[in-house]
Structure 1
Amino acid sequence: MVDTRLCGKSDGLATPYPVVGHLVDSAVVCGSVWDRVLAEGQRSRVVEALGVGVSEARRIVMFWAGLHDLGKIIPSFQGMLLKARPAHSGFLSEAAYAHDRWADSTVGRIRHESATHAALPQLLARLGYPAAGGRPAKLLALQVAQILGGHHGRYPSDNDPRDLRNPCARMPELGSGAWAEQRQQHAEALYEVLGRPAVPNACAMSPTTAVVIAGMVIVSDWLASQEHVIEAQQKEIEAQADYGSPTSLRGHARRMGRVAPVLVEDAGLGGAGFRTGGFSELFPDIRSPYSLQLSVAHGLSGTRLRGPGVLLVTAPTGEGKTETALYAASLLGAACGGRGLLFALPTQATANQMYGRLVEFAGRNLLDPAQLTLLHGAADLYAPYARPQSDDAVDAPEPRVVSDCEPGAEWDGRVSVEAGRWLRGRGRGILAPLAVGTVDQALMAVLPLRRNALRHFGLSGKTVVIDEAHAYDAYTHALLLRLLEWLGALGVPVVLLSATLTGDIARGLVRSYLTGADPSSASRQVPVPAYPGWVYASARDDLVLGPDEPVRSERGRKLAVMVRRVAHTYEPDRAGGRLAAVLDALDGVISGGGCAAVICTTVAEAQQTYAALRDHCRARFGAGYLGWDDCSAEDDQRQDAAAGPRLRLLHARFPAGRRAGLTREAERWFGRTDKLGVRRPTGPRGAVLVATQVIEQSLDLDFDLVVSDLAPMAMLLQRAGRVWRHREPSPSRPAWADVPRLVVLAPAGEDGDLSVPGSWGDVYQHSLLQRTLELLERRAGRPVTVPDDVQALVDGVYAEEFVSVAPEKLMERDFRRLADDMARGALAEMVALPSPHRVTSLHSLTTSDADEELVRTRLGAESVQVLPVFENEDGRWLDEAYSVALPESGRGGAGRFTVAEVRELLSCVVPLAHGPWRAACGPAHDPPADWGREPRLARIVLLPQRVTGGEVVGAALGEYQITYDHALGLITRRTA
């Protein structure tokens, strides 16, 4: 009989909870995870891997999940609990285990998950699991031990084969005698409670099956470990004199069986199924679907889809790719038994925008309620996603009511997508049935990071949509290729979207997915889709689908492209300078109204451009000029009566809250005219938005003209997609905007040749800039026909036979680009997980020989979270008006910060690239001491500011002065 004095849980509990209770709880909860969370495709793969029937596979996995904390039955763990809780010394009889000297300080200490890993193979072997034959790493008992030994996030190294016979010989810290006997008693008790699960008919599982099971184990453990769950079981245990007997444990399991489904539902787990129908049925607001949408809907409909596959869609911006992807995802998911969706985008801003669109789509088309999470580091700052502010402390538990009712019994029929607190916990968001976030959240699944099993588990039951598949450098692109391999191996359907993708990259993306699904398909020929167009390739057979007839573009137009070589200066009177060229290009807007965007390469240049435009307008229109910064943007009547164009600046170096407000304002002025709240500037007073690359992707903005710094061809064409983007209803265009127009400003030296400014650094590869410039100038003013010319231009930039007017310079720049790409690709290969078919041990999935500083999803200077703080004799303030004091501590218990306070502070934070300025920071830049108890506040760097003579004097840090300006954002100036 099991010894119920052995403690499994104690933190936060009035009395300790027996190990056996937690083992049974975890196993039963795992059964509900199997029933309600696992997608049909996932379940089938596990059943196939174990070589048994569905019900037997379910019991086997439940048994494994229950065994995860068996390693708590060791001297050091039990002794540690008794030392921390001397009042409960009677919970474990020292006499019963005295011969193992559990309280002796000379006995070594090991972590309980390591003990599970070491002790489990022998126990499984005694239950009939094979203990010989084949390589040790291929033995199922050792693989199961590695899965369970990784339930705290990192898979241990491979077991020693001797663990199958006598683990205590290698690891005496496990404890022999009564300790070993109790571990076996607990394993056998769980085995009996679950009806003696069969031994799988398999030597070992594939790594992709193993990681899914590992994720199930972690989730089951977390759900069963909630305090209110344990406390409810403890009340039942206290009333039983024979607790620990087979009869009592079966009763314990029955009680948990009634509660477990409720726990799964309360956590927000489960599946997300979409209703079926034609495109117009899923998107009733789209009265006339685009040709691309109809083509994909027709091509993928019917019974041709068999299991997972990859869909690649290429089309110009504005062709309805997002709706196409959502519709296709619903079909692909249904075809392979998927139960969820992840929509991955390049940036936080694009993810925020997509969140609202996914909420709308899901709310209309879900069959049952399902929770939706927003996945990125600042998600809780995005107002539509953030939960209502409260005075609850950050770490306050969410009260839950656990009943015996069936999940969904009280559902009123309304489809809800709001994410609850459990899924908002760190690292859990990807487990939601529906998720939208940055692509980094998916890419982390192919980096050797802790709790990778959760990412693999969260991804494996979903359809994954990756937008802007072209938008990454060689390093991140290499990680994307590896991610596609893993998604293929996991049987995850994938939709790839791009407006500008070279043919070679398109093939590489599809080939990586198919290779992951089946390594023998590496040589499989996959056609590149026409532009616009699409191609679908099945992961299970040779099925390849594409349009039955050419896809007609709804965005067909002739784009006037004007290329100007300019000196990279901001002197207003400098003929041939950048500022003069900007003013000349904007003359129509300034004089006759309309809407224009000026897209700059760096934040500093965007600030300079905006300031120069503001000065120019003030000088030209005098006292009658009124910029957006001079009154509320909502004061339309006053704005309309003023002279000159409205001006606004948008970049990443604004406080998070202000940047969100600026983005909403831009959408209000430049968004679709048929949407509520949009008021496009008309008449003689136009509007100019000066910005960086933050507006070129996914923001639904429309301009009469775009002026852009030189950038690689794909990015220029992406930006050009914001020119005359909206066709129906057609916005009112000024007389000067007779055609869609893009003006490209190419930086030139005194000799007129391309001269990339030093301030641009490595933002763009110089060889791509030269190739782009020459290709555009080669057209001699001929317009770019969209979409007909797009693919040739994008591919032409990378052509090996490119004929340059400056071949020596191009050769030098090409060598640098190719070397840089190779170095970045090699670095990605070094830090990424191995291809799924090359994994020989789960240990490699959470451990790497690479420097931990290199294990990231993107290269570049790390951002530091800084907080401008305004100081005067009365203290420190969050605003220059000295009206909001900097909180030294929170209003929660013991000075803890509330959720609302953390959100308010983070809305004032600005990301700033790490640099020499950081080394000059001292105690004056440290946050208050009480901030250290809140992880999201602890690493913030304060930037003291003072208002002197009406001007803000920023923080002096070494050779730099960093100043916050309400209109310009954070300004960094080198003073020496």
Structure 2
Amino acid sequence: MVVDSRLWGKAKGLERPYPLMGHLVDTALIAGVLWDEALEAGQRERIAAALGLGMRDARQVVMLWAGLHDIGKIMPVFQDAARDEHPGHCAFLDELRYAHDRDRDSRVGRVGHEHATAKAIPGLLGALGYPVDGMAEYQLRCQVGQILGGHHGRYPLGIEEDELEVAEGGMVELGRGAWAQERHEHVALLRDLLGEPPVPQVEAVPVASAVVIAGLVIVADWLASQEHVVEGRLTAWFNRPEPGTPGAVRAHAAEMSALAPGIVADAGLGHAVFQARDFAEQFPEITDPHPLQRSVEQGLRDKVSGPGILLVTAPTGEGKTEVALHAATVMGDAVGGSGVLFALPTQATANQMYERVRDFALRNLTDSAQITLTHRDADFHERYQSADGSSATKGADTPESRVLSHDADHSAASGGDGVSVEASRWLRQRWRGLLAPISVGTIDQALMGVLPLRYNALRHVGLAGKTVVVDEAHSYDAFTHALLLRLLNWLGAMGVPVVLLSATLTGETARGLVRAYLTGAGVGSSAGLPTPGYPGWLYADGRTGAVITPSTPVGTVRSRALDITVRRVTHTYDPSVSDGRLSVVFEELEQLARAGGCAAVICTTVGEAQDTYTALRAHLTGIHGPGYTGWDDRASGTGETPGEGTLLRLLHSRFPAYRRAELTAEAESWFGRGDKKETRRPPLPRGAILVATQVIEQSLDLDFDVVLSDLAPMAQLLQRAGRVWRHSATPRPAWAAGPRLVVLASPAHGTAKAPRSWGDVYSESLLQRTEELLALRQGATVAIPGDVQALVDGVYAEEFRSQDPDELFRRDIGRLGDDMARQGLANLVMIPPPAVADLHGLTNSEADADLIATRLGADTVQLLPVYQDADDHRWLDEARTIPLPTRGSGRDGRFTRAEVRAVLNLVVPYRHGAWRAACTAEHRPPAAWRKEPRLARVVLLPHRVTPQGVRGSSFGDLNLRVDHALGLRAEDR
């Protein structure tokens, strides 16, 4: 079993090629450490059962498979590729045992070594005693070929029956004779080094375990392929006498066994182990847990013995986040691993949750465990920026320059007892975020695991080691909801514990989510699932399907009577119209402007929010006088409270990234919990008004004395109502007699017709149903939480009695048809359920994961405002102190990660549209930006700076301009 050291596995950038055998051994041994340190015990048990083996033997089998991932590199067309960089190395190619095949092999085409692996593996494993009977797609050796052939991110097509009947799977590129002999010798030596792992006692591996193994193989290969690892092992390999002999390879393996744990630890992989504590010990700041928190703690205690799903339904402010974190530790411990993924609907909510999860981890981990923030713009979040990631770009002291030169504060990345949670450089790279022991991110990162994208095996192995928490489970359209159901199906099949949180979920939707998980777990459809109480919870066991619900009704500390006032308005922005929208807004906020208090005005579109803010600023100037400066936000982000008179702010999604973060933080400080030291709620009699869009609807911990909202579906209105009188300790102005939500509805009862400017933001069917249901209750308060579930379910009731049934029927047909279309589209694009046999369909899409959307209509363009002077010089700031960088400071003009982050912190998202066709060369970024994918997609938005002011860019009939107070303004010319 002497292997030829001239057969290389790694060559690029090396002094001499690294022998393939060395890389196979390295990968196998790192896979063993990943088995021990990264896979939770429940997954190890599932894989062992899937292989029909004991735990130790299963570990050895997975190590062998991982080591064989590059066996396809033993072929002429691959080995010949090193000739240019390392001439003379490939003497193996020139010997007589290859010469007779040279003419034939010079005529064959190039083939990826991963595909060669997939073709070679069935024959190689067959020689080891793997079963050779049965259809190809159901043979274990063929399935292993697909698993290992997928180590570059895409599973290859399965091998055909006729290919099994010919040598080397019918792939002539693999080479015969000595080439085949070397493959067998490499396999035999690796198998011997690993203690001759047995043949699995199954016909095939269930796909839910196969994808976890595939992900582990990829991670092991990546860790073994790191430049510093390869260079060190290369030197060691050739420093031994007679390299390639069994003794030398065994010595190499012994050294790697000692090094592998450190390699895995340096990458940031491993377990997150939480201390076994009760709720009060985990959250010492909560001196009196809420009834929901007590109920879940007591209900799950000693009841959870394996994977399962917990559904928690309760109004905002009942402590669902703490419930989820506590439950995640309990449920994770039951499957032998306590890793957590907290998935949220938006980047802003994910950023906020990252802070809370990080603080929880620092208090409760037994040892260090790294936490990643996983969404497209995670690098922009100040608390997540790596310690060496500050930008070298300097400029004057402007808001933009402070962003570009910012040095992140990392003092909170470590806690007591030496526990650290800061993510490693390795985990911060593409595709790797979910591999961390703890992750916080947008739901999209998990949902992409059920889209046929490259490297979705990494998402699968990342999810497999965690308890997955899905917050705001009610907040998605039919397309995304269908993806969520398929994700739950897969999580059930993989034995992953799941926690679902929702404030406004219909009973049928709640049962459907739980049913999807149990179906994947193989415990039936559970058609008789009960509807959880409100507030309440339901736990379903993933092994038996048994359901646990609270033994007694769950109480609440936030029981209140909510006044929902429907004001009928004409949708006009002319303040002189008495029943116009602005006139009603001014009237409702009059007492606040004079006596103080806090209010939110929630608008449907960004444009309407900007118009409302502008009108309110002028109106408040009339109240406070010409010296009114409460709208002046130049001090925002500095910790100072600016201006005089009523404070006024605008918050929506179309601000530059850094500016939106500043505004969000400021809103949390003004309108957050009054008992937090960082909260600076404006003292009475000063008033504060936040004009916003739906961005404040979910997860942000904001508290207002009154909320004014455009008409929206019932679930959204109740979400917004959760921001009214949210915290009992907050001081209230005298005019605020109780919690109040003012809904700005249609002028005529029963019409509920959305203004044209709203487009298709909301279904007119749901608007009509909501408006009519509220009209029936006009004058009666809404009991929170007692009436919430009935209101949410009532909007969707089939027997809904409308005052205009014909119009409602027409609108219902449109809504149901749209939902069916979205569900159908989801079925077309997502991967099949986990009962599939062929792995190829799980990664057969060519779409770029950075561009794919898991929510319809979410596609945006990243606009970068640039400011041009009279000489056509371009700047990143209006003060023209920071030149537009044409190249980076790295090698060959490349941009560093910090420089990329600094530029992207200034971009503004805007929807795709016909305006893109009017873009010209002036909107393209500099040529050097094309080397960095995230900069290459940026669209420049030139602004002309003149003595008369700043002009934006025109695209046909549309003008786009970024304003510091208003954000991106889109106006018809």
Which category of TM-score, normalised to the shorter sequence, fits these structures? over 0.9
2:487 match: secondary structure: helix
CA distance in 2, matches of 1:101, 1:252: 33
Instruction: Name the amino acid aligned to 1:696.
Output: E
Indicate whether 1:833 and 2:834 are aligned.
no
Between the two proteins, the alignment pairs up a number of residues equal to 951
Gaps of 5+ in 2: 394-414
- The CA deviation at 1:779 is 0.6
What letter matches 2:825 in structure 1?
Answer: L
Q: Over residues 32-81 of structure 1, what are the superposed CA-to-partner deviations in whole Å (9 max), with x where a residue is unaligned?
A: 11111111000001111111221111111111000000001111111122
Provide the identity percentage. 58
Q: State the alpha-carbon separation in 2 of the partners of residues 853 and 414 from structure 1.
A: 36
The gaps in structure 1 that reach 5 residues or longer are: 395-410
Q: Deviations over 1:302-336 (max 9, x none)?
A: 2x212111111001100000000100111111112
Question: Which of these residues, 491, 495, 498, is aligned with residue 494 of structure 1?
Answer: 498
Q: 2:596 aligned with 1:599, yes or no?
A: no
> 1:401 aligns to what?
none
Offset, 1:899: 2.3
Correspondence for 1:885 among 864, 883, 892: 883
Equivalent residue, structure 2, for 1:117: 118
1:188 is matched with 188
Cα distance, 1:164 vs. partner? 3.6
Q: Provide the residue aligned with 1:314 in structure 2.
A: 313
Structure 2 residue 382 is matched with structure 1 residue 378: no
Contact residue 341 and residue 462 of structure 1 kept, 8 A: yes
What is residue 870 of structure 1 aligned with on the other side? 867
1:633 positional shift: 4.2
Q: Hey, what's the Cα distance between the residues in 2 that align with 1:102 and 1:179? A: 15
Change (3 A) 1:521 1:104: closer
Deviation at 1:234, TM superposition (A): 1.5
| Alignment partner, residue 737 of structure 1 | 736
Identify if the C-alpha distance between structure 1 residues 843 and 630 changes in structure 2 by more than 3 Å, giving closer, same or farther. Answer: closer
**Distance verdict in 2 for CA 1:271–1:169, change over 3 Å:** closer
In 2, Cα distance between the equivalents of 1:869 and 1:100? 61
SS at structure 2 position matched to 1:551: coil
Aligned to 2:298: 298
In 2, Cα distance between equivalents of 1:939 and 1:672:
39
Deviation at 1:548, TM superposition (A): 1.6
Cα distance in 1 for partners of 2:203, 2:527 equals: 31
Map of 1:404 onto structure 2: none
- C-alpha spacing 1:309/1:209, structure 2 compared with 1 (3 Å): same
Q: Which amino acid aligns with 1:811?
A: F
Q: Please show how residues 201-280 of structure 1 align to structure 2 within 5 Å.
A: 201-280=201-280
Amino acid at match of 1:961: N
Paired residue secondary structure (2:342): strand
Could you tell me which residue of structure 2 aligns to residue 939 of structure 1? 937
What SS does structure 2 have at the residue aligned with 1:613? helix
Conserved in 2, the CA contact under 8 Å of 1:723 and 1:741? yes
Instruction: Look up the match of 2:530.
Output: 527
Q: Distance in 2 between matches of 1:738 and 1:919?
A: 53
- Over 3 Å counting, the alpha-carbon distance change for 1:853 and 1:683 in structure 2 is closer
Shift of 1:238: 1.9
1:852 positional shift = 10
Does 1:142 pair with 2:145?
no
Q: Which residue of 2 aligns with 1:705?
A: 706
> Which residue does 1:289 correspond to in 2?
289
Report what 1:677 is aligned to.
Answer: 678
Superposed CA offset, 1:793-849 (max 9, x none): 000000000001111111111000000001111111111111112x12111111259
Q: Call closer, same or farther: CA 1:379–1:91 in 2, change over 3 Å.
A: farther
* Counterpart mapping for 1:70-89 below 5 A: 70-86=71-87, 88-89=89-90
Distance in 1 (CA, whole Å) between partners of 2:962 and 2:75 is 57
From the superposition, tell whether residues 15 and 339 of structure 1 become closer, same or farther in structure 2 (CA, over 3 Å). farther
TM-score, normalised by the number of residues in structure 2: 0.95
Q: 1:500 to 1:571 in 2, by over 3 A?
A: same
Q: Deviations over 1:240-284 (max 9, x none)?
A: 231111111111110100000001111111111111122101111
1-structure distance, mates of 2:750, 2:488: 44
Give the structure 2 partner of residue 549 of structure 1. Answer: 552
Change beyond 3 A, Cα 1:102–1:461: farther
Alpha carbons 2:510, 2:531 under 8 Å: kept: yes
- What amino acid maps onto 1:289 in structure 2? P
Matched with 1:399 is: none
Match of 2:579 among 576, 580, 584: 576
CA distance in structure 2 between the partners assigned to 1:392 and 1:852 by the alignment: 27
Cα offset, 1:853, TM superposition: 12
Which of 475, 480, 483 is 1:479 aligned to?
483
- Which position in structure 1 is the counterpart of 2:396? none
Q: Is 1:948 aligned with 2:949?
A: no
Per-residue Cα deviation, 1:739-792 (whole angstroms, up to 9, x for no partner): 11100001347x983221111111111100000001111112211110111000
Which residue number in structure 1 is paired with residue 412 of structure 2?
Answer: none
The residue that corresponds to 2:397 in the other structure is none
In structure 2, the residue matched to 1:52 is 53
1:546 deviation in Å?
A: 1.3
Give the Cα separation in 2 of the matches to 1:892 and 1:542: 56
Question: How many Å apart are 1:450 and its aligned residue?
Answer: 0.5
Partner of 1:765: 763
Query: How far apart are the structure 2 equivalents of 1:87 and 1:934?
Result: 36
Alpha-carbon RMSD across the aligned residues, in angstroms, is: 2.1
Distance 2:787 2:85 in 1: 72
**Cα drift, residue 688 of structure 1:** 0.4
Q: Which of residues 566, 569, 574 in structure 2 aligns to 1:566?
A: 569
Matches within 5 A, 1:381-400: 381-390=380-389
Helix, strand or coil: the match of 1:254? helix
Instruction: Return the alpha-carbon distance in structure 1 between the equivalents of residues 448 and 19 of structure 2.
Output: 36
1:384 is paired with a residue whose SS is helix
**Does structure 1 conserve the Cα–Cα contact (< 8 Å) formed by 2:566 and 2:778?**
no
Contact 2:472/2:502 (8 A) holds in 1: yes
**Cα distance change, pair 339–250 in 1 and its aligned pair in 2 (3 A):** farther
Counting only pairs closer than 5 Å after superposition, residues 298-447 of structure 1 correspond to structure 2 as: 298-302=298-302, 304-390=303-389, 413-447=417-451
- Contact 1:122–1:165 (Cα < 8 Å) also in 2: no
| Distance of aligned partners of 1:682 and 1:80 in 2 relative to their CA distance in 1, 3 Å threshold | same
Residue aligning to 2:716: 715
Deviation at 1:210, TM superposition (A): 0.5
SS class of match (1:423): coil
For residues 849-889 of structure 1, the C-alpha deviation after alignment (integer angstroms, 9 at most, x for no partner) is 99999963110151010101010135101111111111111
Q: How far is the alpha carbon of 1:94 from its aligned partner?
A: 4.9
- Look up the match of 1:622: 625
Tell me how far 1:230 sits from its aligned partner: 1.2
Taking the aligned partners of 2:762 and 2:572, their CA distance within structure 1 comes to: 19
Per-residue CA deviation, residues 59-106 of structure 1 (Å, 9 max, x unaligned), is 111110000000011111111221343364557545442222189642
Q: 1:439 to 1:636 in 2, by over 3 A?
A: closer
Change (3 A) 1:118 1:281: same
Q: Secondary structure at the match of 2:62?
A: helix
Q: 1:406 matched to which residue of 2?
A: none
Q: Aligned AA for 1:424? A: R
Alpha-carbon distance between aligned partners in 2 of 1:761 and 1:348, rounded to the nearest angstrom? 24
Where does residue 860 of structure 1 map in the other structure? Answer: 857
Change over 3 Å in CA distance of 1:609–1:230 after alignment to 2: same
Separation (CA, whole Å) in 2 of partners of 1:776 and 1:815 = 22
Structure-1 residue corresponding to 2:408: none
2:905 to 890, 903, 907: 907
Q: Is the 8 A contact 2:524 2:545 kept in 1?
A: no
**CA distance 1:345–1:631, shift in 2 (3 Å):** closer
Instruction: Provide Cα deviations, 1:334-369, integer angstroms capped at 9, x if missing partner.
Output: 112223110000000000000000001101111111
Equivalent residue of 2:691, what SS?
strand
> Which of these residues, 505, 512, 517, is aligned with residue 516 of structure 2?
512
* SS of structure 1 residue aligned to 2:971: strand
Partner residue, 1:842: 839
- The secondary structure found in structure 2 opposite 1:424 is coil
Q: Which residue is 2:40 aligned to? A: 39
